[in-house]
Structure 1
Amino acid sequence: MRYPRAHGKLMTSILAALLACTATLPALVQAALPAANADGWTLRKETDNIKVYTIDQDDSSFQAFKAEALMDTSIENLMAVMVNPESCVEWVHNCTKSHAFGDGHFHDRYAYSVNNMPWPVADRDYVLRIRTQGEQNSGEVVMELNAVPDRREAVDGLVRVDRSDTLYRFIPEGDMTRMVWIQHTEPNGAIPGWLVNTLLVDIPVKSMEQLERVTREERYQDHTLVYGEEGKLINVVPSKQSGDD
């Protein structure tokens, strides 16, 4: 079924906004997400350094996606971006607002996000729990983001997304970093699954390309991953601050 070009652009914008703020991080993995090595992943798009796969979900008409990229940036620069609670607006396609809330800490924290949806779709908001783990021996960092919609009261005029699960893995490879991004979102509202699945693959490509660019900005340079006595990641701080400690 073909749609006018303007309609296709609108639906792409809608999907991008629905996925935007989930994206902004093993034992953390939720059962809702398929494993990275699960049978059934289908390669849907490949650029110079990004591959995007999709897979059907038994309990949903919306597919999950897996995006893999080898980024020309260090894991320190990447994590400096990822621990910034407002960085969603800098790199996730169509994310318009994001900030931390509550009394969380580095390993377990909360973020609130709002997406400015294209007319006539109502704006969406997300309440996310973000958990982070890292191992000094492997250098790998894992982040999990899950929707916890009841953690904050509903806001008039906004539609809250009540199911969204995201997993980020960052694996250092010399001066570069391999990123694996797995996500499944149930966008609330009357948006057909087949149309979302058709447009799904462009969102992680645009976002990961932008993320690599953002990591090169001055404010994300010269950071250090701080590990505790047992080799577990406990923080990401500017190198000067690490030296002062």
Structure 2
Amino acid sequence: MGSLHRVAMACGLSVLLVGVAHAEDWQVAKDEGGIKVSLSEVAGSKYKAYQGVTTIKAPLAKIKALQEDVAGACAWIHECKVQKLLKHEGDKSWTYTQFNTPWPVTPRDSILLVTSTVAPDGTLTRTLEGLPTYAPAEKGFVRVAQVEGFWKLVPKGDNLTEVTYQVHTEPGGSVPSFVANKFVVDAPFNTLKGLKERAEK
């Protein structure tokens, strides 16, 4: 989801973030290597929202560039098989991603609208909105039914950037609970770990 994620308006951000995933009462599920992953129940969904937070020793511009390399970002996004840019228009991008899934789950694909905004203090927010009907699912894949989330990159000075990655997904089809429960921890952790490693090189 790297470049998948474009942004949300700074001024409307507080309203937006309250709506994202309708999540509350975050509970820490993993805190390792400077990456903290928290989970939250979402009303009306059997899938938890996830939030990963880390501080990366790199300027925001470098992280932004890694995200905007849509195809290249697949290398550090958790279980990403293929990712491509479908369309770019102003502050909006449409991206297509195929994901690997463990047996017996059918592989997923998703289409995201990523909207990017920059606040006066330089904070970059990319809101993620799933567009499941934008194009037909590819053969052999189940289209992810819903994605709602954001990336938030906050410059902290001295070439430090605080990065938050929060998402709630309705994966579509049937997903065993043990797979879903593992995914919501592994996805933010491994994605941020991969991004952090590349940005700090």
Which TM-score band applies after superposition, normalised by the shorter structure? 0.7 to 0.9
Partner of 1:77: 62
Q: How does 1:17-96 map to 2 (within 5 A)?
A: 25=6, 26=10, 27=12, 29=16, 31-34=19-22, 38=24, 40-96=25-81
Provide the rounded CA distance (Å) in 2 between the counterparts of 1:55 and 1:166.
13
Q: Percent identity?
A: 23
Partner of 1:207: 191
Provide the rounded CA distance (Å) in 2 between the counterparts of 1:156 and 1:114.
11
Please tell me the root mean square deviation across aligned C-alpha atoms, in Å.
Answer: 2.3
Checking the alignment, whether the CA contact within 8 Å between 1:23 and 1:92 is kept in structure 2 is: no
Checking the alignment, whether the CA contact within 8 Å between 2:3 and 2:70 is kept in structure 1 is: no
Partner of 2:125: 142
Provide the rounded CA distance (Å) in 2 between the counterparts of 1:56 and 1:66.
12
Partner of 1:153: 136
Whether 1:196 aligns to 2:184 is no
SS in 2 for 1:67: strand
Structure 1 range deviating more: 89-98 or 24-33: 24-33
- Cα deviation digits, residues 128-178 of structure 1 (max 9, x gap): 11100002x311000011110111123222211121112110001111100
- Cα deviation digits, residues 51-108 of structure 1 (max 9, x gap): 1111100110111011110111110100001112213312112101111113x32411
Provide the rounded CA distance (Å) in 2 between the counterparts of 1:101 and 1:23.
11
- The structure whose residues are more often strand, as a share, is 2
The structure with the larger Rg is 1
> Per the alignment, do residues 44 and 160 of structure 1 end up closer, same or farther by CA in structure 2, a change over 3 Å counting?
same
Whether 1:97 aligns to 2:82 is yes
Partner of 1:122: 106
Checking the alignment, whether the CA contact within 8 Å between 2:78 and 2:186 is kept in structure 1 is: no
SS in 2 for 1:92: coil
Q: TM-score, normalised by structure 1?
A: 0.71
Q: TM-score, normalised by structure 2?
A: 0.85
Of structures 1 and 2, the one scoring higher in RCO (CA 8 A, sep 6+) is 2
